[in-house]
Amino acid sequence: MNNIQIVEDIASDTFLKASEHWAINGIPTNPEAWLYTVAKNKAKDYLKHKAIFDLKVSDNIRNAVSEENIFTETDERTISDSQLAMLFAVCDPVIATEGQISLALQVLCGFSVNEVAQALLSNRETIKKRLFRAKDYLRKSNFEIKELSSLQITERLPTVLKSLYLLFNEGYYSKHQDQFVRKELCYEAIRLAVSLTENNLTNTAQVNALIALMCYQSSRLDARTGDTGEIILFDNQDRNLWNQDMIDKGNHYIILATDRRQTSKYHIEAAIAYWHTTSEQQSKWSPILQLYNQLILIEYSPITALNRAFAYAKVYGIKEGINETEKLKLEYNAHYFGLLGYLYTDLDPEQAKRNYQKAISLSPSAPERQLFKKRMREIQGTG
């Protein structure tokens, strides 16, 4: 049976169960998380039963293979976590990279088409076409989860890491209309990334750097929103709510990630996140800016460019920061106008309010819009 059809059946069963359960018990507080958990459990049950069946069948055809060889191959080549196994199977290089990631985010991470589009900075129609092509290929190739060679695992690992990175980012800085933080996605991304360290082939410097980044960022999850879900920016966070255990874990994994032969974007982002956990001093912004300079050369993104412009303003002053920001001309990006609103606040309050108004009109996130409105009220209150 084609596994992509099974995935679609699992999704249908999940929504059917929701319609039955919610009709009796009411809609849960976090319906997306409820659906995600039910679908994940159904997938795990299916894969567990399939694995038992495959094992019994394989016993009849591997009589000539020694126990020692089976153990060696399993130790090096088997991805033990069922979700990771599916993720590696989906990340087939025959499919375009963006198609692989789109499929992984939708099928395994439960993202809607809109969420995939936002994560990949694309539009809905483009993502729908990518997903159609990817699923069509899987159907025609009789897709199944199977043991991969060492070379296949190594080749697919970068795309797997990108998928986990985007899964974490959606949890940490959600594009969801009503939620700014989705902790369950952050913790699932960390769990899957840590599982990669259990296999010698996937326990790489990049993997450990990504885990370090996730740990540093997760240490502030409880401080990033208030009791009613409102956004609390970094400078206003209660440091007593930061999780020191997660920071310590980040320190542990960043040491494991040290490799002079390889410095990835995950290393640089982890270093930036590390600086944010260590000091409130103004002197930290110069090394942070240098790290952003390196990061933007490795992989440009609007968010990286805006974060760099913010660090630039911290190092060289507000006016220079405004000039650096306006060079970006990200005129369809809410964060672009939000940053300009912040930078103009003391210099030109009216211009700051105009930028916040544009940010409000562009942001799909209710918590973000509330933050921008609050900033406008603060400007009016001091004017």
Query: What would the pLDDT profile of 284-310 be if each residue is shown by its tens digit?
Result: 999 999 999 999 999 889 999 999 999
Q: What is the mean pLDDT of residues 249-278?
A: 90
For residues 249-271, average pLDDT: 89
Q: How confident is the model at residue 47 (pLDDT cuts 50, 70, 90)?
A: low
C-alpha to C-alpha distance for 308 and 31, rounded to whole angstroms: 36
Report whether pLDDT(162) > 50.
Answer: yes
DSSP 225: B
What whole-number distance in Å separates Cα of residue 356 and Cα of residue 364? 14
Q: What percent of the chain has pLDDT over 70?
A: 78
C-alpha of 121 from chain center: 13
Query: Residue 200 pLDDT > 50, yes or no?
Result: yes
Domain ranges in the chain?
Answer: 1-149+158-173, 204-278, 296-383
Mean pLDDT lowest among 124-138, 159-173, 301-315: 124-138
Share of the chain above pLDDT 90, in %: 43
* pLDDT band at residue 44 using 50, 70 and 90 as cut-offs: low
Q: Which phi and psi angles does 332 have, rounded to 5°?
A: -115, 20
Contact indicator for 373, 357 with CB cutoff of 8 Å = no
Q: How confident is the model at residue 7 (pLDDT cuts 50, 70, 90)?
A: low
What would the mean pLDDT of 192-207 be, rounded to a whole number? 93
Residue 110, pLDDT score:
77
Evaluate whether 360 touches 353 at the Cβ level (below 8 Å): no
Cβ proximity of 184 and 233 under 8 Å = no
Lowest-pLDDT range of 1-10, 63-72, 222-231, 330-339:
63-72
Of 3-12, 178-187, 274-283, the one with minimum mean pLDDT is 3-12
Task: Tell me the range of 15-24, 100-109, 231-240 where mean pLDDT is highest.
Answer: 231-240
Give the model's pLDDT for residue 369. 92
Query: What pLDDT score does 19 carry?
Result: 57
How far is it, in rounded angstroms, from Cα 369 to Cα 8?
35
> Given this model, what pLDDT does residue 177 score?
63
C-beta separation of 207 from 200 below 8 A: no
Predicted confidence at residue 319, as pLDDT, reads: 96
Q: What is the pLDDT of residue 253?
A: 95
What is the enclosing helix (H) or strand (E) of 302? helix 302-316
Report helix, strand or coil for 195.
helix
Reply yes or no on whether the pLDDT at 165 is more than 60: yes
Mean pLDDT of the chain: 81
Q: Measured between alpha carbons, how far is residue 280 from residues 232, 283, 293 in Å? A: 16, 9, 21
Please give the pLDDT value at position 382.
Answer: 58
Task: Give me the architecture of the 296-383 domain, per CATH.
Answer: Alpha Horseshoe (1.25)
pLDDT digits (tens, 9 = 90+) for 208-221: 999 999 999 999 99
Give 106's pLDDT tier (boundaries 50, 70, 90): confident
